Structure 1
Amino acid sequence: MASKITFIGAGNMAGAIIGGLIESGVSPSDITATAPNESELAPLKARLGIHTHTDNSAAVNGADVVVLAVKPQIMRGVCEALRESVQQQAPLVISIAAGLDANTIDQWLGGGNALVRCMPNTPSLVGIGASGLYANAAVSDAQRTLATQLMEAVGIVEWVEEERLLDAVTAVSGSAPAYFFLMFEAMEEAAVKLGLPAETARRLAIQTALGAATMAQRSDKDPATLKQNVMSPGGTTERAIAHMEDAHLRTIIADAMQACAARADAMSKELSGND
């Protein structure tokens, strides 16, 4: 990836992506990160050896890719201040801000920009994330490849061809780490009631989830088949699964994901002023 990359914002997600890029072979000299104060940038500069800047517009000059990694609430002001530099430079713009649609960001940047929206999740912070990406019509095939390479530095990448589907991505991966954390919490509480120490229960639950995810990832079988393979007629697993089915676990999950996607859509309208 022989490209100059500028990150507007130097928070945890930006730092994770930058670290992943460097591990994948990108030279630190090709990466710049910005923040309002040098004190916010010093740890990242010392740890990774990248360039840093407190002037966003100056940092964009010469960049092939600009990653917008600031909070949605301040995105408009950041973009409008960058408008002239972005229009002159014409980089690929990648937004990792939740809830702001591509057209709104493009307008704030002056219009006509090659823009990719990215919905990463928090496991990206440990290099095993899942990101959903959407490209507007101005993004070239080469730029799509560049965006894929950038986000693959912290996990897997899946493209959607309709922007509205990023709400579904939010429901199935963006917010979903919390679903599994809730499962760990519930399993730990139940195991303690069964007599196990909390720490033992936690380690067993987390390791089992890791093992199950790894099996699912490596197998050519679908989850339903893998589930069936664990179950013996009249056995313990069958009894547990039957109880979950009787309790309508599938409906609970489906309803929760629908609520998540609906909230993502509402937030987008609120943040863009289109509600």
Structure 2
Amino acid sequence: MATDDGQPAGRHDAFAPAKINLTLHVTGQRADGYHLLDSLVVFADLGDHLSLAAAASPALHVSGPMAQVVPTGPENLVLRAAARMGVTLDIRLDKHLPAAAGIGGGSSDAAAVLRGIAALRPDIGLPPDQGLSLGADVPVCLRARAARMEGIGERVSPVDDLPPLHAVLVNPGIAVSTATIFRSLARKDNPPMPEILPGWGDATALAGWLAVQRNDMQAAAIAAEPLVGQVIAAIAATDGCLLARMSGSGATCFGLYADTQAAGRAAASLARPGWWVRAARLS
């Protein structure tokens, strides 16, 4: 429903889950500088919470444990998403995900705003580019379910046969610059994942397959911030860890486990001062 001036009526609550790159293959770079990727992406059952309502002028109110790292000016992706759709919103963002962390916090927030606008204004719907102009991760975050992301982020294919996945997410409290990591890559023409992804009977089978895939940004991130390597080693040393890897360009890393109990025990053992540690279910 919309008001007489075309603005959405009512208030809409939205959830913006953390995005996890189980794989991240950098397969090329276009002449315009954009990098080509091939990534298996999943989403956690934890994230940020947003509430949207029509307003006379754009407004963003940020609260939550990670509020201090969020810019509140027009450069913020949630305000840009609303502006992109020609809608003026009062947005309340309850921020729980660390910023510049490789788990798509800003992109997932922007995707949640786009979904919210589509719910409030079905006549507008979603943008034709699925939010790509806002960022490479926004189209996959619009789906917010397991998917394969290719190209510069514009090709998103559902992956519907993943087994139940339990994980621990760890961010050591440092920010890693995606642009810096891309510039530091030793090569940018790495092989993609197989054209046809296999089936996986359980988390152990998936982790075994993932072990021969890659995050092509991980080595460069460790070179820039050695603490990332220490986090991966700490996760890998926990009981029952099936795989430890970095997500995105870092600095958040993850471990996969066979069940929620193992993930919970690992999360407890990884608690460190200044570290953000959460057990999660991925889908």
Length-normalised TM-score, structure 2 = 0.25
**When you count strand as a share of all residues, which structure comes out higher?**
2
**When you count helix as a share of all residues, which structure comes out higher?**
1
Higher relative contact order (CA 8 A, sep 6+): 2
